[in-house]
Amino acid sequence: MKVHAHWQSDVLVGALVGTGVGLWASRRDSPLIVGWLPGWFSVGYVHHFKP
């Protein structure tokens, strides 16, 4: 924002979208994880061991 590269609304909407996706991802019941990276993606499976 200081160097006029982003509008304040861009920053606020990005923060809200990121928070929403993070909350959704932490509360869903699916053990499947998909991650997107620049030029690559990953797929994983989460298993919680019970004592």
Q: What are the pLDDT digits (tens) for 21-43?
A: 888 877 877 777 788 878 888 88
pLDDT at 43 (0 to 100)? 84
Tokens at residue 46, please? Answer: 């989460």
Task: Give the mean pLDDT of 1-5.
Answer: 66
pLDDT at 16 (0 to 100)? 94
- Residue 33: partners with Cβ closer than 8 Å, 6 or more residues away: 42, 43, 44, 45, 46
pLDDT at 1 (0 to 100)? 54
pLDDT at 2 (0 to 100)? 61
- Its pTM stands at 0.52
